[in-house]
Chains A and B, each alone.
Chain A
């Protein structure tokens, strides 16, 4: 019982570590978010939307990463949303974890999505796609 549990947890840990924070293509219908949905203005070229919650360890580090990227790349806005106060959005976008980062293009279409703390290079890569470079 102990062994089975630890093996299962190790597998889960390895999968989580590999997937965590990696921006993925959004499958199915591409969602579009408006500044009304976000209660904030969209960036001129792209927007990084971060869903956070009160009991989230990696949210602070994620905020730092996204703020750095926003400073580096002109025309990009960083919008942070408290998941608990926007459960409507959380449900419609099917967000299960915090942080979840959505990369939106200039018109608000969700181009990429990462759950878990993303690496800076990955965010910059995903932004390249969003601004069409």
Chain B
């Protein structure tokens, strides 16, 4: 599977804005919505990506492998879920910490094109020797 890198970057920008709004408003519902977006994106049906495709009709100059960003969306989902648990149970440090971590990664991707979630793969694999 190949993906349009511009659509991925656009999705990262929208994700950054949504997560920043979650922190400002403290809305668990908004975070839940973002978690659904993360979950859909793992399966290659990124709602933000579809918005991008609706606006931009020109073909991308080059495509890139879709597997790394999809994996990163999974990492994003994990953080969003932890954040949701924090909001629901009103453990504020957990809610803010997890959401801020997801925002950190989304912003790095949006502003620098650096996929922090992708980098987690090897680190997780190193920590889980038994999974081999």
Q: Give A contacts to B, CB under 8 Å.
A: 1-2, 4-6, 8-10, 12-13, 16-17, 53-57, 60, 83-84, 87, 90-91, 95-98
Contact with A along B30-65 (1 / 0, CB 8 A): 000000000000000000000000000000000011
CA distance A8 to B111 in the complex (A): 13
B122's contact among A9, A10, A53, A57, by CB below 8 Å, is which?
A: A53
A9's contact among B68, B107, B115, B119, by CB below 8 Å, is which?
A: B107
In the complex, residue of chain B having the shortest beta-carbon distance to the beta carbon of A20: B114
B122 touches A90 (CB 8 A): yes
CA distance A8 to B121 in the complex (A): 22
A8's contact among B23, B104, B126, by CB below 8 Å, is which?
A: B104
B107 touches A56 (CB 8 A): no
Question: In whole Å, how far is A62's beta carbon from the nearest beta carbon of chain B?
Answer: 13
Interface residues of B in 86-116 (CB under 8 A from A): 96, 100, 103-104, 107-108, 111-112, 114-115
A residues near B123, Cβ cutoff 8 Å: 96
Question: In whole Å, how far is B76's beta carbon from the nearest beta carbon of chain A?
Answer: 13
A5 touches B65 (CB 8 A): no
A97 touches B96 (CB 8 A): no
A98 touches B122 (CB 8 A): yes
Question: In whole Å, how far is A97's beta carbon from the nearest beta carbon of chain B?
Answer: 6
Q: Give B contacts to A, CB under 8 Å.
A: 20, 23-24, 64-65, 67-69, 71-72, 96, 100, 103-104, 107-108, 111-112, 114-115, 118-119, 121-123, 125-126, 129, 132
In the complex, residue of chain B having the shortest beta-carbon distance to the beta carbon of A57: B68
Taking A54-B67, A55-B118 as contacts, is the C-beta distance between A87 and B103 under 8 angstroms?
no
B residues near A55, Cβ cutoff 8 Å: 67-68, 71-72, 118, 121
A57's contact among B65, B96, B107, by CB below 8 Å, is which?
A: B65
B20's contact among A2, A87, A95, A97, by CB below 8 Å, is which?
A: A2
In the complex, residue of chain B having the shortest beta-carbon distance to the beta carbon of A61: B64
A54 touches B121 (CB 8 A): yes
A-B contact pairs, 7 of them (CB 8 A): A1-B96, A2-B20, A16-B114, A54-B68, A96-B119, A96-B123, A97-B122
B residues near A60, Cβ cutoff 8 Å: 64-65
B24 touches A2 (CB 8 A): yes
CA distance A98 to B65 in the complex (A): 15
